[in-house]
Amino acid sequence: MSKPVQVFVGLGSNLNQPVEQLKRAVAALLDVVDLNGVRCSSFYSGKPMGPQDQPDYVNAVVQLETYLKPRPLLQILQRIEEQQGRIRERRWGERTIDLDLLLYGDQCIDLPELTVPHIGLAERNFVLYPLQEMAPDLYIPQLGALAQLISACPRTDLQKIKQT
Ligand code: ROI
């Protein structure tokens, strides 16, 4: 085996105790033998992107290393969503837990079930700011330097949550 791929996963929840949902998802990722060096950003709270008649979100980004190919990795993320009883009522609506494969090394992936870099990444402050905390010098394929994207994406209402 050559080198593991560096992966970033976005976590989001706005139902059923979002902070606990995120903690559970991080614990589940730490438990997967094929995922190494799992570390999580701070948790952030913010207003929903999309319909405003839903609770605020809690978001974070996890960085990890793996030799898994994108599809098996995606299946692991989906299994964790299912284990946490993922509810998704409507498009762009409330959800118990979302695990989005944001970045897979420097690869661009365009499959029916998976687009990497994740669609909308450049407009989502709740992804960019936690990413900056983890990897300030990151370069995002097709989109450019993270620092550049951050400078074009206002932080607005995004707040770091104090963690105990
Ligand atoms: N808005 C925020 N703030 N955080 C999310 O994780 C999130 N996820 C989504 C939509 C509905 C687009 N809005 C969000 O899927």
Can you tell me the distance from the alpha carbon of 41 to that of 158, in angstroms, rounded to the nearest whole number?
14
120 CB near ligand 1 (under 6 Å): no
For the segment 65-69, the average pLDDT, to the nearest whole number, is 98
Catalytic residue numbers read: 86, 95, 98, 100
49 CB near ligand 1 (under 6 Å): yes
Mutational test site, ligand 1, from 126, 128, 131, 153, max ligand atoms within 8 Å of CB: 126
139 in Cβ contact with 146 (< 8 Å): yes
CATH of 5-161, one of 3.40.50.300, 3.30.420.40, 3.30.70.560, 3.40.50.1820: 3.30.70.560
Flag whether pLDDT at 100 surpasses 90: yes
* Per-residue model confidence (pLDDT) at position 32: 98
* Per-residue model confidence (pLDDT) at position 87: 76
103 in Cβ contact with 127 (< 8 Å): no
98 C-alpha vs ligand 1 centroid, how far in Å? 9
* Per-residue model confidence (pLDDT) at position 164: 61
Which tens digits make up the pLDDT trace of 71-95? 999 999 999 999 999 877 788 999 9
Angle between helices 70-83 and 18-30 (to 10 degrees): 140
Domain boundaries, the chain: 5-161
57 CB near ligand 1 (under 6 Å): yes
Nearest CA to ligand 1 atom 3: 48
Which tens digits make up the pLDDT trace of 101-154? 999 999 999 999 999 999 999 999 999 999 999 999 999 999 999 999 999 999
Which tens digits make up the pLDDT trace of 26-57? 999 999 999 999 999 999 999 999 999 999 99
